[in-house]
Amino acid sequence: MPEGDTVHRTAGRLREALAGRMLTGCDLRVPRYATVDLSGSLVDDVVARGKHILIRVGPRGADGGTARPVSVHSHLKMEGRWDVYRAGERWRRPAHTARAVLRVDGAEAVGFSLGALDVVARADEDDAVGPLGPDLLGPDWDPARAAANLATDPTRPVGLALLDQRLLAGIGNEYRSELCFLRGVLPQTPVSQAGDLRAWADLAHRLLLVNRDSVRRTTTGVDRDGARTWVYDRGRRPCRRCGTPIRVGRLGEPISGVDAERTVWWCPTCQR
């Protein structure tokens, strides 16, 4: 699943390609919006909100387009991605997985395998992203509020609370495991026993911020294959700090709907 920094980079690429330009083509390949054509409308902006992307399209221009400002809202979920291509360039993913194609002169943005795709009135954006907590990379970031949100259920495992986008938006499975290691806390530990929650929020913000503009994410500070993470995806390999084999297991809440059970990694010596 893409992390918040990946989504913000994606929004940046889309903004560079689309913002301030008029759509010359619009193909939304989901039944509900199959007849929606935003051609002739100006793209005002592209913004990321947690793991959501909002492509804000203005009202119609002289060539047609939408009658009122709308937003093309998408969520990448597990497999989704947006690519930007030059006009006529061959797509790098199968055409049958394309869910949205937005064209401007000289370029096109293609959303593949999107987990969610909607067109909402600009005034109704909060219906799509309103329940989210403060965005770790957004202008609304508030570490005190994020810490207070994490504290609302003190018995909940901290490794589950970190994934709850209603508490703070942008942490995925990789950052969840890495944050727990760097804080020296087992992901199964109740929030009430996880230590200073403001420190958790501050560390999460720093990690995403330092990786926001990097194609290759690293939490170790080492940009080399096989050395970029402390515990994530390193099951049974030696801990980089103490040499103890990294453990791998499952952690989730099937009833709550927060990603059900997901794989998690930890060091049984460095984390308590």
Nearest 5 degrees, angle CA 142-CA 143-CA 144? 95
77 is catalytic: no
- How many C-beta atoms surround the C-beta of residue 100 within 10 A? 21
**Out of 9, 49, 51, 103, which one is annotated catalytic?**
51
Instruction: State the DSSP H helix or E strand holding residue 27, giving kind and residue range, or none if neither.
Output: strand 25-28
Nearest 5 degrees, angle CA 117-CA 119-CA 121? 145
Q: Which is it for strands 107-112 and 81-86: parallel, antiparallel or unpaired?
A: antiparallel
262 is catalytic: yes
Measure the CA–CA gap between 180 and 190, rounded to whole angstroms.
12
- How many C-beta atoms surround the C-beta of residue 246 within 10 A? 23
**Out of 3, 108, 125, 174, which one is annotated catalytic?**
3
CA-to-CA separations, 117 to 16, 87, 128, in angstroms, rounded: 21, 23, 10
**Out of 2, 134, 143, 157, which one is annotated catalytic?**
2
Q: Which amino acid is at 197?
A: L
Collapsing DSSP to helix, strand or coil, 146 comes out as: helix
2 is catalytic: yes
Active centre residues (catalytic): 2-3, 51, 262
